[in-house]
Structure 1
């Protein structure tokens, strides 16, 4: 309960957040940017742009709300208690999930494909470590990335990371990194944090440029949602 109290004391009304919504016709959940609306904790609201809230929303399942609090990503699992209209959800927070992040670079919400593979696959096919994970990012910075995979990865494991930047020319960035954390959120959903250990300077510049562009986009989205309410 104390964690929930701390969470609500830090999240300001009208703050841009990201929610992972359960859909009735699909196993993967949909991740959407929206605006946090304060209420009496543990209750709160989420406000969406017109036409964004999925018609296939499964209100009987829990969702995950992620917010950036001073360079630290925090999430709460929440139950949907009401759908007042086509742009609003009323929810009740259940549990706080905290993601300790490297703070060398600011991070932004970023939803884009990511692939993790072995760093040095063996030439002998019979012995090759042939795992291959495809997922989506949650947030991105010049020092690392937080993402969602359907399977876990061992903390400290070295991996090759292929990341498609979500803006501009959609450049593909390749890096060697390691797993800094892996947390099971629910069945077949793991939050995995990577730190970039080897990353070309020009690729880091591209990541940072993408982060700045996303930050501007999120600010514009916040204004648009507020004006439509």
Structure 2
């Protein structure tokens, strides 16, 4: 959807959730009121003194704004100004609308730590997985444990900065490919993904894409 078209039909003031990027790779979540001033420009009003000192806010990182009006919409934004501790002025660059689009937005997962356990009696010990890519819909991972198609797994996903959380999800195996003896590529679909967990996964994906882009630029300039 076109950003300006979406924002032109935005309610006058609407509650939103905001992932505010902090210098050093941290992300802090806040509630705010969004006011469209001149599309694609938006002002976010927070409770008095809710935000950290403006100097701590990373204006170079993406700021994700989550809008829920019957469906969840994510605004991918940049921070133009941190005006005190209760106002951010942002520019929206992209709108991700509808759950199916959130589900299929995929990012690199090499820094994730994955732990899987077969569900049900006799599921056995947990086994580790190495992430390849992830979305709100599922994850592609490499494992040293053979699993079966349609097998159900309980997963722990340890997400590093800026999210810094351990997420839990149930999943079902969709595809298995043997890469070499005893080593498998496994694609799973999440079966109980809630909106908050999806928000965390998307925040990680955007942060990873930005981090990898910075590394590419640094490597190119060497």
- Using the size of structure 1 for normalisation, the TM-score is 0.50
Structure 1: distance between partners of 2:117 and 2:94:
35
**Within 2, Cα distance between the matches of 1:59 and 1:132?**
31
Is 1:153 the equivalent of 2:153?
no
Match of 2:190 among 179, 200, 214: 179
My pick for the range that moved more, 80-89 or 29-38, is: 80-89
Q: Which runs of 5+ in 1 are unaligned?
A: 102-115, 134-145, 163-173, 190-229
Are the aligned partners of 2:40 and 2:91 in contact in 1 as well (CA < 8 Å)? yes
Q: CA RMSD in A?
A: 3.8
Alignment CA distance shift 1:117-1:92 (3 Å): same
Contact 2:169 2:190 in 1 (8 A): no
1:159 is displaced (CA, Å) by 3.9
TM superposition shift of 1:131: 4.2
1:42 aligns with 2:53: no
1:18 counterpart residue number: 17
Q: Distance in 2 between matches of 1:117 and 1:45?
A: 40
SS of 1:18's equivalent in the other structure is strand
Pick the structure with greater CA Rg: 2
Whether contact under 8 Å (1:118, 1:158) holds in the other structure is no
CA distance in 1, matches of 2:39, 2:31: 21
Offset of 1:10 from its aligned partner? 4.3
Find the aligned partners of 2:66 and 2:96 in 1 and give their Cα distance.
Answer: 9
Q: Which residue is equivalent to 2:216?
A: none
Query: How many residues are treated as equivalent by the alignment?
Result: 143
In the alignment, what sits opposite 1:3? 2
Q: Counterpart in 1 of 2:93? A: 94
Supply the distance in 1 between the matched residues of 2:81 and 2:92 (Cα, whole angstroms): 13
**Helix, strand or coil at the partner of 2:25:** coil
Q: Which residue of 2 aligns with 1:61?
A: 61
Deviation, structure 1 residue 81: 1.2
Q: C-alpha offsets along residues 123-162 of structure 1, whole Å, 9 cap, x if unaligned?
A: 3x6xx533499xxxxxxxxxxxx79xxxx72499944268
Consecutive unaligned residues in structure 2, runs of 5 or more: 101-113, 142-149, 157-167, 172-188, 192-197, 211-222
State the 1:49 CA deviation.
Answer: 0.4
Q: How far apart are residue 179 of structure 1 and its match?
A: 1.5
